[in-house]
Amino acid sequence: MSEKKKLKGQTKVRMEERARVMKALAHPSRLFIVDELSHGERCVCELTDMIGADVSTVSKHLALLRQAGLVLDEKRGQQVFYRLRVPCILNFFGCVEAVLEEVSRCDVAESS
Amino acid sequence: MSEKKKLKGQTKVRMEERARVMKALAHPSRLFIVDELSHGERCVCELTDMIGADVSTVSKHLALLRQAGLVLDEKRGQQVFYRLRVPCILNFFGCVEAVLEEVSRCDVAESS
DNA sequence: TCATCGTTTGGCAATATAGCCAAATTATAG
DNA sequence: CTATAATTTGGCTATATTGCCAAACGATGA
């Protein structure tokens, strides 16, 4: 009967699952990848060139996105192409920008 | 003239800013807090009781959310009340759930 | 088969994050 | 002023994340 929602049991599991997805998006390179994949599929080599990090690093970022369920991979020849799996994550960007604007608009002593 | 977008300069700065906001949401307790604040303002003690962690831990989570621009705090008496600053982040949950459903629906060898 | 290209994996070192306790801070009550 | 309650801050340890290199893997072509 208690209306008090607590961070335990079912609720805790759900929050942990959500956090895993959010974590996958909580990195500059991975956000860039998602943004780039919104324009179509890309191979690892293309993304590596754009990001400017080691291929192995980019590959691990992509593996993490895949494990989170955000992208799909398809091997064709020697190359592996990645594409978005759930397009709605692109809607995140608009809201994140809104947050950044809100902060920069009232950037007085908000950082302390 | 180059159409090639690279993760450097302006683009890199923007992705880093976005990542900072996403990072703030990439934790079970902080997701729980955001979810709870969607129903109205809450004081630190209420949230601490619900989360079941040390008060100092919850306080640090809240400070992180505030620094990211996601919540606002207001001191009234001895208590500090927190509330959402940018409501659109609540839309994230629907998409995250869609990702989780997508994964659980096709949970065959998707995790390897 | 051998060499090469594209990608992934293992492993390591550097950095970042999380959570607790103790102490400091601020407001209120007596 | 003293005591107490609510919150924040400092500091410490444990854990997680990141990124590079080297090596392994898989497909292609000579």
A109 falls within a domain: no
A3: which residues sit within 8 A by CB, 6+ positions away? none
The CA distance from B84 to the nearest CA of chain A, in Å, is 11
Assess whether pLDDT exceeds 60 at residue A49: yes
Q: Do A69 and B21 touch (CB under 8 A)?
A: no
B13 falls within a domain: yes
* Whether B55 contacts chain A with CB within 8 A: no
A25: which residues sit within 8 A by CB, 6+ positions away? A31, A34, A70, A89, A92, B22, B26
Q: How many residues does chain B have?
A: 112
A16 falls within a domain: yes
A41 falls within a domain: yes
Q: Which of B 60-79 have CB under 7 A of nucleic chain C?
A: 60-61, 64, 75, 77-78
pLDDT value, residue B106: 84
- Sheet containing strand A71-76, strands side by side: A42-43, A79-84, A71-76
Looking at residue B75, which CATH number applies to its domain?
1.10.10.10
Name the stretches of chain B with pLDDT < 50.
109-112
Protein CA at B56 to nucleotide C1' at C22, angstroms: 11
CA dihedral A96, A101, A107, A111 (to 10 degrees): 10
Count of domains forming chain A: 1
Protein CA at A111 to nucleotide C1' at C12, angstroms: 35
A91 falls within a domain: no
Assess whether pLDDT exceeds 80 at residue A104: yes
Give residue-wise pLDDT tens across range A60-85: 999 999 999 999 999 999 999 999 99
* Whether B77 contacts chain A with CB within 8 A: no
Assess whether pLDDT exceeds 70 at residue A1: no
pLDDT value, residue A2: 56
Could you tell me which of B13, B27, B17, B18 has the C-alpha nearest to residue B64? Answer: B27
B49 falls within a domain: yes
Burial of A27 per CB tally in 10 Å (0-12, 13-18, 19+): buried
The answer to whether B51 touches A95, Cβ cutoff 8 Å, is no
- CA dihedral (B43, B69, A68, B97) positive or negative: positive
B25 falls within a domain: yes
Complex prediction ipTM: 0.93
- Sheet containing strand B71-76, strands side by side: B42-43, B79-84, B71-76
Residue A66 sits in which domain range? 11-86
A110 falls within a domain: no
Q: How many residues does chain A have?
A: 112
pLDDT value, residue B4: 72
Protein CA at B76 to nucleotide C1' at C30, angstroms: 21
Separation CA A62–CA A56 (nearest Å)? 10
